[in-house]
Amino acid sequence: MDLDEECSWTLWKKVDNKFDLQQMIDSVDSLLTEIKERWSTFLLHTFSNREQREYIKDLRSQSTDKSFIVAQIDFSMNYTLLRQREVQQGFVSQHQATLFTIHLTIGQGQRNLAIISNYLEHTTAFVYCAQKVLVEFIKKNFPLVKKINYLSDGACAHFKNNANILNLIHHKTDYDLEAALTFTAAGHGKGAGGGIGTVIKTIARRATLSKNILLSTAKDFFEFSKAQQLTIEERSNKDCPGVYVFYIEAEEVEKAKNNFLKARSEKFRKSGKKNHLLKIANDSSDLGTIRGIRMMHEFQPTSDTTVQYRTTSRSTHIRTFTFK
């Protein structure tokens, strides 16, 4: 092989804070160097992906309506409220609605939930309010369930962050249900939630553009979607709708954030915290945050102040962090 021979390849690179697929032209030697530099990262990612995929598969098969439920949660892209007959200037003043999806696995059974809101930010505070809706649904329909195992991708803005883990360890106190949080490998979080969002959006869009139905607000979108799911349930003679649709007011999220979650986070920031590891000494953080949180894929609270976390869900290397 001639290492000086010219060749081309494509590579995802960050340019101006955005990732783009770049066409690279250089020597074979440069290509091999590029592969060598990224090889260890690729191996770690592949291992994490396979480990999490198998663990999640087993987790779902072990779930029952008397033990624990697996809840895959995710934000769908905000739905734009189009109007069939709008003036040209209306294009720049379109309203949106947040759509949060939840897919429940209960042994062989499944349930789909969609939460619509006029609160447009995808934040930990919204996730907290969505969890409240989910817990009420579970207690009503599956009263013997003792635990929720949340499953999500690694979005750090609203799922994989210290504020969300802080809420996780208070889950038992807040909702009277135990909880754990499992993450898929980065870039491998697509699941049934995407289908839930697609169903809700597609039905609304078709009705808006073909039947001249006006959906001007997030509340309109919610009421239409809920009615449609109930209609489909009646026509198909099923005992439950394909998607249970709920609504959260923006004021409710703001209230939870300002009156409750903000105080909890402030207490966390101001207090002195240490990161205790079971197997590695001298691995502590004086910053009061979980060290390397983005590389972790499993979080299990052990008390209302402590959480155990692992690089993969079956890892025997267990780390412990205490919020004080």
Nearest alpha-carbon partner for 185 in 151, 147, 148: 151
Instruction: Look at strands 68-81 and 147-152 and give their pairing.
Output: parallel
Q: What is the C-alpha separation between 309 and 33, in angstroms, rounded? A: 34
Q: What is the pLDDT of residue 186?
A: 81
- Which of 46, 62, 78 terminates a domain? The answer is 62
pLDDT tens sequence across 235-259? 988 889 999 999 999 999 999 999 8
| Domain shared by 264 and 288, yes or no | no
Number of CB atoms found within 10 A of residue 142's CB: 16
Residues 74 and 117 in one domain: yes
Total domains in the chain come to 3
Residue 281 has phi, psi (to 5 degrees) of: -80, 160
Residue 285 has pLDDT above 80, yes or no: no
Q: What share of the chain is helix, strand, coil (3-state, %, to 5)?
A: 40, 25, 30
Q: Which band of pLDDT confidence, cut at 50, 70 and 90, is reported for residue 145?
A: very high
Question: What is the rounded average pLDDT of the residues 276-302?
Answer: 68
Query: Do 239 and 97 reside in the same domain of the chain?
Result: yes
**pLDDT interval class at 283 (50, 70, 90):** very low
Residue 84 has pLDDT above 80, yes or no: no
- 280 has a pLDDT exceeding 60: no
Note the pLDDT of residue 31.
93
pLDDT at residue 323, as a whole number: 82
97 and 223 belong to one structural domain: yes
Give me the pLDDT at residue 150, please. Answer: 97
Question: 318 by DSSP, 3-state: which?
Answer: coil
DSSP 294: G
Domain limit, last residue, from 62, 90, 109: 62
**Does position 210 have pLDDT exceeding 60, yes or no?**
yes
**2-11, 184-193, 234-243: range with lowest mean pLDDT:** 184-193
Q: Is the predicted pLDDT of residue 88 greater than 70, yes or no?
A: no
The count of C-alpha atoms lying within 13 angstroms of the C-alpha of 115, restricted to the half-sphere facing its C-beta, is 24
- Alpha helix ranges (H) inside the chain: 28-62, 124-141, 162-169, 171-175, 192-210, 218-235, 250-256, 262-270
Q: Looking at the DSSP assignment, which residues form a beta bridge with residue 19?
A: 14
Q: What is the pLDDT of residue 1?
A: 79
Say if CB 102 and CB 127 are below 8 A apart: no
Same domain, 26 and 95: no
102: its two tokens: 């939840």
Residue 287 has pLDDT above 60, yes or no: no
Between these two residues, 45 and 1, which has the higher pLDDT value? Answer: 45
Residue 275: the pLDDT is: 42
Distance (Å) of CA 179 to CA 162, 166, 168, 174, 305: 16, 12, 7, 11, 14
Residues 222 and 324 in one domain: no
The answer to whether residue 4 scores a pLDDT higher than 60 is yes
Among 268, 285, 311, the domain-final residue is 268
pLDDT of residue 246: 98
Least confident of 89-103, 257-271, 309-323: 257-271
Domain containing 292: what range? 271-324
Q: Are residues 58 and 109 in the same domain?
A: no
Q: What is the pLDDT of residue 274?
A: 43
- The half-sphere exposure of 91 on its side-chain side, counting CA atoms within 13 A, is 2
Looking at residue 90, what is its pLDDT?
58
How much is the pLDDT for 270? 60
Q: pLDDT-derived band of residue 284, with 50, 70 and 90 as boundaries?
A: very low
Based on the fold, state whether residues 116 and 183 are members of the same structural domain: yes
State whether 57 and 69 are in the same domain.
no
pLDDT-based confidence at 93, cuts 50/70/90?
low
User: Do residues 139 and 78 share a domain?
Assistant: yes
> Could you give the count of Cα atoms lying within 13 Å of 65 in the half-sphere of its Cβ?
11
- Provide the pLDDT for residue 187: 75
Average pLDDT over residues 37-57: 92
Name residues whose C-beta falls within 8 Å of residue 189's C-beta, 6 or more positions apart in sequence.
74, 152, 153, 154, 183
Identify which of 221, 271, 253, 26 has the alpha carbon closest to the alpha carbon of residue 114: 221
Are 145 and 233 in the same domain?
yes
Give 48-101 as a DSSP string.
HHHHHHHHHHHHHHH--TTSEEEEEEEEEEEEEE--SS--GGGGGG-EEEEEEE
Phi, psi of 133 (to 5 degrees): -60, -45
User: Do residues 107 and 117 share a domain?
Assistant: yes
Q: What is the mean pLDDT of the chain?
A: 88
